[in-house]
Structure 1
């Protein structure tokens, strides 16, 4: 079967069936209705069977024949597979640009302080960061790989665990020096609330941590509410209150002494984690595998 010769005719037939007219198909395919009609007639001649009937109502529209209607799902699935194959081919042969999606906070607190090591190891790969709080469609936005925070399940994506994390309160050294103890701090200072975690139903938040610590009766005082985890930590550094830190985000700030941990012996494991995510059909792309392996090595 010389199917490739009739690919344009198949496209014309499928579009005409969706629009129920040659004119609608012509507008989509950027050709004339006469050209669409000719392509469909060529396909009908090759198949030896009509694909459409004209409606008998006043409105002129195409009615797909019974045999053609049965074939349409397979034809559409075939076009979907062709598009996917072309996307993969384009990605495999694209330039050395790697598009990575991460949250703004993960970018500033974990990835950017380390990215120089990747660039030194792979100077021919240019990293393009797409920072967003919301999950975005990898195909639509041209994303190669990303890091997401959650339970590890995102439709259409392979997820490999990158980092677990713990939760604990932190404050500036000056604030701790002023009050002397975590109990006094909690009684007198505002709690900083991370609104970016509101979309994660499993995240314990301040109420979960206080209950875990045995202070569930403590009033959760109103304070600053911020929709960026990095900004929450910055507010704590500036002495505006106590932050419920996530160990992955706060590691470097603890190391430099910009923040101090208020409960060294009390940790609440987070039910959520960081995952490296990518489309399974892109798993063998060299630039993707290099970055994925580098992320896993950095986390280890």
Structure 2
């Protein structure tokens, strides 16, 4: 029995410095967002920026490396699994078949367009895939989740998150202004916001700016879009395994955590969990993802980011325009 309890101690002591550092940054970022009162200010992005600042201004001690790596893998995947408890199959039904078609077609078209545009612009395949996922699905969370299959460098992940954050923020500010010009209101406007804006918080903020009906439609549409993250990762993983793409092992991993995400959606749809648990689960998921972003920042070298130049930023801009126009067109058509 003493041997069983002693085994985790060396591992815990190795992980503690990096985990405490990343979790501490996540806690400060979360408190900063709460103190600001700005719902659309994403703690995950704040945590990543803080991690980058610490890494490039002061450096990160070598003892923190194991804990940072742990935050980038098991902690991240646990956060994505818990994200499934925010979604239900009933939400899909509320959107309706035309709405779901608009959301799914916008997602697929944006992902494929961004990948193709990245090839034309000469942007690295992995970075293009991450920008495509962030633009097509749900911003930083999608970038992190897809990278479990893509396996890009940390600098690529940071660059992709920066891209989708900047352009998602522009959408959050611009969509309510464009609503009047385009004579969009209510559920149609909300569906457009949910189908086109990058981050969940950004989409919800922009949708509610046009009233309660638009806000509800935008929230449900955005969460339905997030649900499509699971099949996207499974498809990318299957394609990567078939082509044998993986620098380390010769094959890409099966993203088993996605099955956990799907199971969480199923459990939430069955209404098995008490309502009192939904708030803590959502908070835990957000904190785990914020911790992972802090760890990502702690491993990001700004010098390497500069070497990538402006082409990936141009790709992010193209993806932003494409998803906005395509989402609008499909919402109006369907």
TM-score, with length taken from structure 2: 0.27
- Structure number with the higher helix fraction is 2
- Structure number with the higher strand fraction is 1
Instruction: Identify the structure with bigger relative contact order (alpha carbons < 8 Å, sequence gap 6+).
Output: 2
Structure with higher Rg: it is 1
TM-score, with length taken from structure 1: 0.29
